[in-house]
Copies of this chain bind each other. A is one copy, B any other.
Amino acid sequence: AAPKFYFGDGKDLEIFQMVQVWSIYTMENDAVNPNMDARNDIYIRRGRLGVKGHIRKDITFKVWFAYDNLGKNEYTAGTGTPNTTAGKGDNGTENREFYIWDAIWTWHLDKEWANISIGYFRPQVGKESITTAFKVISFQKSLPNFDFRKHIVGRGPGRETGINIGGLKLGKGWSVNYNVGIFDTNHQKIVGNGTGSKQPTVGDGEKWSPMYAVRVAFTIGDPEMKKYKMGYTQTYYGKRNGTTIGLNYTYQGKTDIFDKNGIYAVDILSNYGPVDFNAEYDWLYREKGNQDSTDTIWSVKLGYNIKLE
């Protein structure tokens, strides 16, 4: 547990960190250059530090920062864009960026049905995407994490500014978890370069549409969480007996990049004692004039918890 400080009136603050240091040996990673040496790369795959807590009894927050992929080389055979610092020293070959990861404030107006979140966070769709990399049962997150994010918000971390309302109803032997959000996308790959009189820096095109994101998850057996939150896990280390099925949907109308863009996705998480089973199937579509494109991504994972005596 991280250090948690209590300071009256239901207020508290926690300082937390997470890290993954990876060492990857890459045998071959350049199709056109056979002379590339094999190489080993030691790097900080994920480095995080932040604060979270209650600023009022019914308002929680989480602000955290990342220094991911610090020391990662371009030719390493692994997902993730190397951490670089543009314009530093010699053509941006510094790797020391410390950047904002999430900044969320949630007002628990009604703990069961109306938890309203604002800020910069993941649209609550795509189970692999909204499950932290520190709680997936595979070594690395699966493809539905990476492609999904690029498709709906354009950026690898998958964050966007917006508003979300969600809830969690716990029944006897069943539960329902829902989230509905509206997001204001601004990545160049989603909204374009800008065509107006201003110099584009954060992509902003002529046409504008909000992105809607909806997820509903039904559970039989133990719930995924005891109270509403926007973080998920794929294993309970043998302590959960339950199955959750989630339906995911996003829709965004006309921007400079597309006429329509969105996903449909279904996911399942089953935890029964030591067995963890998890699968996701995503259907992505994008329409632009006569050029419609679709894609599908999926993953299936099966895990077994071995108890160390």
Contacts and interface: CB of A to CB of B under 8 A. Distances in A.
A42 interface: yes
Contact of A13 (B3, B32, B194, B197): B3
B195 A33 contact: yes
Contacts of A160: 71
Where chain A touches its partner, the secondary structure class is loop
A71 B210 CA distance: 13
Given A43-B184, A210-B40, A75 B201 contact: no
- How many interface residues does chain A have, given as a range? 35 or more
Contact of A118 (B42, B49, B85): B42
Contact of A70 (B17, B30, B161): B161
Nearest to A65: B98
B206 A36 contact: yes
Nearest to A50: B49
B95 A98 contact: no
How many monomers of this chain does the complex have?
A: 3
The residue among A13, A49, A74, A156 with the most chain B CB atoms within 10 A of its own CB is A74
A81 to B, nearest CB: 7
B196 A41 contact: no
A300 B203 CA distance: 36
A197 to B, nearest CB: 5
Given A7-B3, A99-B98, A202-B84, A196 B75 contact: yes
A297 interface: no
A244 B99 CA distance: 41
Given A13-B15, A63-B49, A86-B86, A120 B70 contact: yes
Interface string A74-92: 1100000111111111111
Given A37-B206, A38-B208, A201 B82 contact: yes
Contacts of A11: 1, 3
A30 B198 contact: yes
A97 B85 CA distance: 10
A103 B67 contact: yes
Contacts of A31: 197
Nearest to A72: B202
22 contacts: A3-B7, A3-B11, A3-B13, A21-B118, A21-B119, A23-B163, A37-B206, A39-B208, A44-B119, A44-B120, A47-B100, A71-B120, A73-B202, A74-B204, A75-B198, A81-B89, A82-B201, A87-B87, A89-B155, A90-B188, A93-B189, A95-B186
Interface of A: 1-5, 7, 11, 13, 15, 17, 19, 21, 23, 30-33, 35-44, 47, 49, 51, 61, 63, 65, 67, 70-75, 81-101, 103, 105, 118-120, 154-157, 160-163, 182-184, 186-189, 193-204, 206-208, 210
Ranked 10 nearest A-B pairs via Cβ: A86-B87, A71-B161, A39-B208, A93-B188, A96-B99, A37-B208, A30-B196, A73-B204, A42-B184, A82-B202
